[in-house]
Structure 1
Amino acid sequence: MRLIAFSLVFIFSYLVCYAQKQLQPILEVPAKSEISIINEDGTSVLPSGRTLTPAGELIRITHDPFGLAISPDGKKAISLHNGVFTVIHTSDLDATRVPSYDRSIVSPLSDGSFLGVAFDPDNKTIYLSGGDNGAVIVYDVEQMIRIDSISLNGVVDGKNFEDSFTSDLVYQNNELLVLDRGNFRMVRYDLHKKKITASIPVGRQPFGLAISPDHKKAFVANVGMYSYSLIEGLTEENYNEMLISRHPYADNSKESIEGTIIDGKTIPGVGDPLSPDAMSVFTIDLTTNTVINKYKTGSQIGEMVEDAEVVGGASPNSIAVGEQYLYVTNATNDNIAVIDHKIGEIVKHIPVEIDQRIDRYRGSLPFGITLSKDEKTLYVALLGMNAVAVIDIKSEKTLGLIPTGWGPTRVRLSEDEKEMYVISCRGLGAGPNGGEGFVAPPQGTYIGDIQLGSFQKIAIPNSSQLASYTKQTIDNTFREVMADPTDPNPLPIYPGAKESPIKHIVYITKENRTFDEVFGQMEGVNGDKSLARFGINAEHTLPDSLRSGIEIMKVTPNHHKAAKQFALSDNFYCDSDASIHGHHWMVGVIPNEWVESNSSVDKTAKLFSPAPGRRFPGSTGSMDPEDYAEIGGLWEAMERKGLEFYNFGEANETAHVRETWSDTLTGAAHGVMVPMQKALFSRTSTNYAGYNMNIPDQFRMNQFEEEFTKMWLKGEEEMPSLITVQIPNDHTASPRPEDGYFSSASFVADNDLAVGRILHFLSRTTYWKDMLVIITEDDPQGGVDHIDAHRSILMMAGPYVKRGQISHTHANFGSILKTIYNILGVPYVNQYDVTASLLQDFFTSIPDYTPYTVEPHDPRVFNADKAMQRYNKWVDWKSIMQGPEMDDVDIIKKEFKNN
Structure 2
Amino acid sequence: MIGDLLGWLVVAKALVFPQDFGPVSLGVSARAQSAPEIRTRPQTTWPGLTHAGTVLLPNGWSLKPAGRQTRLGDFPVQMAVHPSEPVLAILHAGYGEHEVVTASTETGKIIGRVALPETFAGLVWSADGKQLFVGGGFDDRIYRFDHAGGLLSNKTTFPHPDPEKSLKVPGGLALSADGKTLWVANVYGHSLARLDTTAGTIRDLIPLAADSYPYGLAWDESRKRLYVSLWNHASVAVIDTEMLKVAGSLPSQEHPNELLLARGGKVLYVANANRNSVSVIDTVAVKAIETIGTAIDLGAPAGCTPSALALSADESILLVANANTNNLTVVNVKEPGASTPLGFIPTGWNPTSVRFARNGKAIYVANGKGQGSRANRDGPNPVDPAGEGRSIREYIAGLFQGTLSVIPMPDPTQMASYSRTVYECSPLRRGDPTAVRGEQMPAGHPIPARVGDPSPIKYVVYIIKENRTYDQVLGDLPEGKGDPHLCLFPEAITPNHHALVREFVLLDNFYVDGEVSADGHEWTMGAYATDFVERTWPLLYRGNRRVPYPSEGEFALARPAAGYLWDRAAEKGVSYRSYGEFVKNGKTPDEPGTTSVPALQGHFDPLFRTFDMDYPDVKRAERFLHELAGFEKAGAMPRLVVLRLPNDHTAGTKPGSPTVLASLGDNDLALGQVVEGLSKSRFWKEMAIFVVEDDAQNGSDHVDAHRTVALAISPYVKRHAVDSSMYSTSSMLRTMEL
TM bin, normalised by shorter chain, reads: 0.7 to 0.9
In 1: Cα distance, 2:201 partner to 2:52 partner = 50
Segment drifting more, 139-148 vs 457-466? 139-148
State the Cα deviation string for residues 777-811 of structure 1 (Å, max 9, x = none): 01111111111101111111121111121211000
* SS, match of residue 735 in structure 2: helix
CA distance in 2, matches of 1:280, 1:802: 50
Of residues 286-295 and 773-782 in structure 1, the stretch that sits farther from structure 2 once superposed is 286-295
Q: 1:737 to 1:168 in 2, by over 3 A?
A: closer
Aligned equivalent of 1:285: 240
Q: Please name the residue that 1:523 is paired with.
A: 478
2:195 to 167, 189, 195: 189
Specify which of 467, 471, 491 is matched with residue 420 of structure 2. 471
CA shift at 1:152, angstroms? 1.7
Compute the displacement of 1:736 (Å): 6.0
Q: Does 1:571 align with 2:509?
A: yes
Give the alignment of 1:848-867 within 5 angstroms: none
In structure 2, the CA distance between the partners of 1:354 and 1:786, relative to structure 1 (3 Å rule), is: same
- For residues 534-570 of structure 1, give each alpha carbon's deviation from its aligned partner in whole angstroms, at most 9, with x where no partner exists: 223xxxxxxxxxxxxxxxxx22111111111111211
| Structure 2, gaps ≥5 residues long | 1-6, 11-42, 380-386, 430-436
Change (3 A) 1:146 1:691: farther
One-letter amino acid of the counterpart of residue 482, structure 2: G
Structure 2 residue matching 1:745: 3-state secondary structure: helix
Closer, same or farther: CA 40–211 of 1 in aligned 2, 3 Å: farther
* 2:252 equivalent among 297, 301, 305: 297
Query: Does residue 135 of structure 1 match 2:141?
Result: yes
Other structure's SS at 2:406 match: strand
How far apart, CA to CA, are the structure 1 residues paired with 2:342 and 2:717? Answer: 45
1:531 CA drift (Å): 0.6
Q: Is this contact kept in 2: 1:327–1:336, CA < 8 A? A: yes
Q: Distance in 2 between matches of 1:344 and 1:736?
A: 58
CA distance in 2, matches of 1:124, 1:564: 66
Q: Pick from 72, 77, 89 the counterpart of residue 61 of structure 1.
A: 72
For the pair 1:383 / 2:310, whether they are aligned, the reply is: no
Are the equivalent residues in 1 in contact too, given 2:511–2:727 (CA < 8 A)?
yes
CA distance, structure 1, for counterparts of residue 407 and residue 310 of structure 2: 15
Contact 2:350-2:367 at 8 Å conserved across structures: yes
Q: Residue by residue, what CA displacement relative to the aligned partner does 1:311-351 show, whole Å, maximum 9, x if unpaired?
A: xxx11111011121111112223222222223433333223
Superposed, which structure 2 residues align to 1:702-851 within 5 Å?
Answer: 702-710=622-630, 712-716=631-635, 718-735=636-653, 741=658, 743-822=659-738
1:534 counterpart = 2:489 = yes
Instruction: Evaluate the alpha carbon distance shift between residue 795 and residue 597 of structure 1 in structure 2; reply closer, same or farther with a 3 A threshold.
Output: same
Compared with structure 1, are the counterparts of its residues 354 and 623 closer, same or farther at alpha carbon in structure 2 (3 Å cutoff)? farther
Is residue 627 of structure 1 aligned with residue 558 of structure 2? yes
The structural deviation recorded for 1:604 is: 12
Distance 2:184 2:554 in 1: 28
Distance 1:578 1:592, change over 3 A: same
Structure 1, 563-572 or 133-142: larger mean CA deviation: 133-142
Task: Choose from 204, 208, 214 the match for 1:206.
Answer: 214
Partners of 1:59 and 1:339 lie apart in 2 by 35
- The alignment partner of 1:477 has SS state of coil
The answer as to whether partners of 1:67 and 1:114 remain within 8 angstroms in 2 is: no
Q: Kindly state the Cα deviation for residue 816 of structure 1 after the two structures are TM-superposed.
A: 0.5
Q: Are residues 420 and 663 of structure 1, via their aligned partners in 2, closer, same or farther at CA, if it must alter by over 3 Å?
A: farther
Residues 202, 220 of structure 1: 8 Å contact kept:
no
What is the aligned partner in structure 1 of residue 183 from structure 2?
177
Contact 2:527 / 2:730 at 8 angstroms: preserved in 1? no
Name the CA distance, whole Å, in 1 between partners of 2:168 and 2:341: 39
Bigger Cα Rg: 1
The answer as to whether partners of 1:589 and 1:628 remain within 8 angstroms in 2 is: no
Contact 1:69 1:77 in 2 (8 A): yes
**What is the TM-score of this pair, normalised by structure 2?**
0.85
Q: CA deviation at 1:603?
A: 9.4
**Which of the residues 291, 294, 318 maps onto 1:349?**
291
Percent identity, please.
Answer: 29
Tell me which amino acid in the other structure corresponds to 2:580.
Answer: G
Retained in 2: the 8 A contact 1:617–1:624? no
- Aligned AA for 1:136? I
1:391 CA displacement: 1.9
Q: Whole-Å Cα distance in 1 between the matches of residues 702 and 652 of structure 2? A: 25
Which amino acid in the other structure matches residue 715 of structure 1? A
> Counterparts in 2 of 1:87-126, with a 5 A limit?
87-95=102-110, 98=113, 107=115, 109-110=116-117, 112-123=118-129, 125-126=131-132
Describe the SS at the equivalent of 2:183. strand
Q: Deviations over 1:488-534 (max 9, x none)?
A: 5322233244x222221111110101111111111111111111012
1:510 and 1:74, CA in 2 relative to 1: closer, same or farther beyond 3 A?
A: farther
Cα 1:692–1:765 shift into 2, 3 Å? same
CA distances 1:841-863 after superposition (whole Å, capped 9, x unpaired): xxxxxxxxxxxxxxxxxxxxxxx
SS of the residue aligned with 2:634?
A: coil
Give me the whole-angstrom Cα distance separating, in 1, the residues matched to 2:591 and 2:71: 45
Provide closer, same or farther for how the CA distance between residues 121 and 702 of structure 1 changes in structure 2, counting only shifts above 3 A: same
Larger helix percent:
1
Query: CA 1:482/1:728 → structure 2, altered by over 3 Å: closer, same or farther?
Result: closer
Distance 2:340 2:573 in 1: 36
Q: Where do residues 274-423 of structure 1 align in structure 2 (5 Å cutoff)?
A: 278-298=233-253, 314-322=254-262, 323=264, 324-356=266-298, 359-393=299-333, 394=335, 395-423=338-366
Report the residue type matching 1:47 in the other structure: P
Deviation track 1:348-381 (CA, whole Å, cap 9, x = no partner) reads 322324225xx24211121111222222322111
Give the corresponding residue for 1:889: none
Q: Determine which structure has the larger strand proportion and give its number.
A: 2
- Inter-partner Cα distance in structure 1 for 2:591 and 2:324: 37
Letter in 2 for 1:570: D
Mapping of residues 191-270 of structure 1, within 5 Å? 191-203=197-209, 204-212=212-220, 214=222, 216-224=224-232
- In 1, are the aligned partners of 2:505 and 2:722 still within 8 Å (CA)? yes
> Alpha carbons of 1:443 and 1:388: their partners in 2 closer, same or farther (altered >3 Å)?
farther
The one-letter amino acid paired with 1:503 is: K
The correspondence for 1:675, drawn from 596, 611, 618, is 596
**Contact map agreement 1:435 1:530 (CA 8 A) in 2:** no
Which position in structure 2 is the counterpart of 1:638? 569
8 Å CA contact retained: 1:429, 1:452: no
* Aligned 8 A contact 1:351 1:396 in 2: no
Say which SS state the counterpart of residue 489 (structure 1) adopts.
Answer: coil
AA aligned to 1:797 is I
- In the TM superposition, 1:589-604 aligns within 5 A as 589-602=527-540
Letter in 2 for 1:349: T
Residue type matched to 1:601 in 2? L
Instruction: Give 1:81's aligned residue.
Output: 92
For 1:428-467, what aligned pairs fall within 5 Å after superposition?
428-434=371-377, 444-467=393-416
| Contact persistence 1:660–1:694 (CA under 8 A) | no
The code of the aligned residue for 1:465 comes to: Q
* CA–CA distance in structure 2, aligned partners of residues 134 and 442 of structure 1: 35
Deviation sequence 1:1-37 (CA, Å, 0-9, x none): xxxxxxxxxxxxxxxxxxxxxxxxx9659xx931111
1:805-852 CA distance string (max 9 Å, x none): 121100001210221122xxxxxxxxxxxxxxxxxxxxxxxxxxxxxx
Instruction: Give the residue type in structure 2 aligned to 1:599.
Output: W
Amino acid in structure 2 at the alignment position of 1:801:
V
- Residue 230 of structure 1 corresponds to none
TM-score, structure 1 normalization: 0.70
Q: Is the CA contact (8 Å cut-off) linking 2:311 and 2:317 kept in structure 1?
A: yes
Task: Please tell me the residue identity of whatever aligns with 1:179.
Answer: A
Whether contact under 8 Å (1:575, 1:812) holds in the other structure is yes
Pick closer, same or farther for the CA change 1:169–1:482 going to 2, 3 Å.
Answer: closer
1:642–1:154 Cα change, 3 Å: closer
Indicate whether 1:514 and 2:456 are aligned: no
Deviation at 1:618, TM superposition (A): 3.6
